Structures are given as C-alpha cells and as structure tokens.
Amino acid sequence: MKTIFGFIGCGNMGGTLAESVAKTVLGEQIMVCDAVFEKAERLAMSCGMQVTDLISLAKSSQYIFIGVKPQGAAKLFDTIRPILQKRKDPFVLISMLAGTSIATLTELAGCKCPIIRIMPNTPASVGEGMILYDYNSAVSEEQLSEFTNAFSEAGRLDHLPEASIDAASALSGCGPAFVFLFAEALADAGVECGLKREQANLYAAQTLLGSAKLLLESGKHPGVLKDAVCSPGGTTIAGIHALEEGGFRAAAINAVTAAYEKTLKLKG
C-alpha cells in the first residue's frame, strides 16, 4: 500500500510544504484539497499531485496535514471527526494550527490518534526553513522517521518540547519578517549613500545570507564573529555604536518577546 500524504489547505505555508514533500515523495502519493478548488488544482498541476475532496482525503491519507487557519479548525474537525473515529488503518495528524496544543487536537479529532504538531516558517519555500515539531506518544518511530524524511527538503527540522514551541516560533516563525525589515533598512541606507536600488537590495540580501551561513558553519558565538569585523577605531565599530545608540539590540529583543506575548494572549 502506498503511503499517502494529504494536505488540507493550500495556502502559502500549506502549499509550500506540499511542494517540499513532492521533492521526496512521488506526486501521485500526495493528495491536496482546499475550500477554493482552483487553488488546490494549481498546486496539484505544478507537482503532479492528486486533487481530491476533504472526505476522500480524510479516509485514505496515512499522513493528514492540517493547514487551515485556526478559526476554521472547529468546522473542519466537525466534518472529518466521524471519519477519523471509524478508521481502522493507521494514520497520523500533522498540524500547524497556531496556538493549538496536541491535547486540544486530540479533543478535536475525537480519538487518541498519532499527532505531530509543527511550526514552520516561510523560508521553507526555498528549502531553508526552520520546522519546529513535537509529537504524542502514539507516534511510532517508523511514522516519525517517515515524517522527517518527507519534510527534509523544506529545511531544518528540530524536535523540542511542546511547551517551548510558542517561544521558539516567536523567533523562527516571526523572525523572517524582522530580517526582511532589517534587509530593507540596509538597502535604503545603501541608496541614501548613492547605490542603485537593485545593487543595494542585492548587497543587503547577500550579506545576510553569507553572515547566516558563516554563523551556522563556524559554530562561533555571534559576538565573536561581530568582533572579528570590528577593527579598532574603524568604520564598522562606528556603525555598531550608531546601532546601539538607536537601541537596535533592545528593539530586536522586544520584537521577539512582543510576538511571544501576543501568541500567549491569542491562546487565551
């Protein structure tokens, strides 16, 4: 029997992850459905996937990915709960519902099934995402291995306790927006200094890309790498001084903590 990955919801993140799985799994082994049929159809055509309806997907997929918005979860589970409860064959729910715990997902499903909770980020669209995940005790080693292998092309996967997922997501999930804002500011500065916009955007992006790669591959503390660029009495340390005067470090910390605190409020 072929392993079938079913994706409910073909929005930006759901579609991105389906495309990533299509790099490791045959398209014919992937089902997609969406409230907007045309959206699912476009996604399926791009990767040779199967377009199906919600009921068929819930009946036949071994890995059921929940990619709808949190406010639509109750209605979705009202539809698929009876199907899940009747299934005799093994299946796994994979959910990226923000702020929705594994315990809540178990209640929504109405049965004690294997559940993997994930929080991805948008760089998964270029294979450089950060996917945080945790799972309940019903998930077998084989199922976990199949999950991590299938999603490996999306980027890095990291297992951490569910209690830490919201905090980690405030960093990795919201972080790309903060990085893009910083990149835009760097490019704006380049334009102010006389560079063409295209040049400034390229230099800012490549600088961020190269710096991130250096940080990951060197294993050095970011402060050590920062110090290596700062010559005594030089231009870089003057720029660092200006950033500190503007509260750059505190602003970055505040951005992540504000995102985390907002997540806690949304959870009620």
For the domain covering 5-161, report its CATH number: 3.40.50.720
Stretch(es) of the chain classified as CATH 1.10.3730.10:
175-266
In this prediction, residue 264 carries a pLDDT of 86
- Residue 189 pLDDT > 70, yes or no? yes
Of 127, 135, 129, the residue nearest 165 (C-alpha): 135
Tell me: the pLDDT tens digits for 208-221? 999 999 999 999 99
Per-residue b/e over 148-180, b at no fewer than 16 CB within 10 Å?
eebbbbbbebeeeeeeebbbbbbbbbbbeeeee
Stretch(es) of the chain classified as CATH 3.40.50.720:
5-161
175-266 folds as ProC C-terminal domain-like fold (1.10.3730)
pTM of the model: 0.92
CA of 121: how far to CAs of 157, 248, 252, in Å?
Answer: 11, 23, 18
Of 57, 56, 55, the residue nearest 14 (C-alpha): 57
Q: Rounded distance, CA 47 to CA 15, Å? A: 11
Tell me: the pLDDT tens digits for 155-185? 999 999 999 999 999 999 999 999 999 999 9
- Residue 153 pLDDT > 70, yes or no? yes
Could you give the percent of the chain with pLDDT greater than 90?
92
Tell me: the pLDDT tens digits for 49-105? 999 999 999 999 999 999 998 889 999 999 999 999 999 999 999 999 988 999 999
238: Cα within 13 Å, side-chain hemisphere:
3
Query: Residue 32: helix, strand or coil by DSSP?
Result: strand
- When pLDDT is cut at 50, 70 and 90, the band that residue 110 belongs to is very high
In this prediction, residue 268 carries a pLDDT of 55
